A = this chain, B = another copy of it.
Amino acid sequence: MPTRILGIDPGLTRCGFGAIELGVGRNVALIDVGVFRSSPSAELSVRIGTLADEIESLIHSVKPDVLALERVFAQANLRSVMGTAQISGVVLALAHKHGLPIALHTPSEVKAAVTGNGRANKDQVGQMVTRILGLSEMPKPADAADALAIAICNAWRGLPSPSDKNSTLTAAQKSWHAAIAASKSKP
């Protein structure tokens, strides 16, 4: 039975979302992708409340089995981290409300999963997401592509590693496993 994963790149001004379905092996197919926006000039509770309503509607329409979210970290811009944390709180509360398991992935884990490089830039992530899902063009803005990358990272976790027999991996997936293995072997 296929697994449907909803990836969310939390943010107050732009909140990216990407839903995929994991089929046979490592096949992943696009279900939905986009971005919810809120105006910085609007009142904070209206911004957060409206985004909460939109994310809840998305859960109803996508009907995911899992919700994957980027783990919030300290960054240079503390103001944007606050908004990110506030939206991630809303997403976590919604996951609990709808009985959805939630997975948190670090940015470097997500980058490594789709590009094989934990320090890949936004454009590289977008290119690989486009290729993996067989899309005709790169999802825009970057928040939308990032949300798909989070979902793909989650989909591929726990699947047979490339050393397993009968494993059919793409070049990107092989380099991901190599990067994971290399990072694990470090002291």
Contacts and interface: CB of A to CB of B under 8 A. Distances in A.
Interface of A: 43-46, 48-52, 72, 74, 78, 81-82, 85-90, 92-93, 95-97, 102, 104
A118 B98 CA distance: 42
Nearest to A47: B92
Contacts of A88: 86, 89
A96 B51 CA distance: 11
Q: Is chain A's interface secondary structure helix, strand, loop, or mixed overall?
A: helix
B44 A97 contact: no
Contact of A48 (B46, B51, B78, B93): B93
A65 to B, nearest CB: 15
Nearest to A10: B89
Nearest to A46: B96
A48 B92 contact: yes
A93, A96, A97 — most chain B CB neighbours (10 Å): A93
Contacts of A82: 72, 81, 85
Given A44-B104, A74-B78, A85 B89 contact: yes
A45 B95 contact: yes
A68 to B, nearest CB: 12
15 contacts: A43-B102, A44-B92, A45-B95, A45-B96, A45-B102, A46-B96, A48-B89, A48-B92, A49-B93, A49-B97, A52-B96, A85-B85, A86-B88, A86-B92, A88-B89
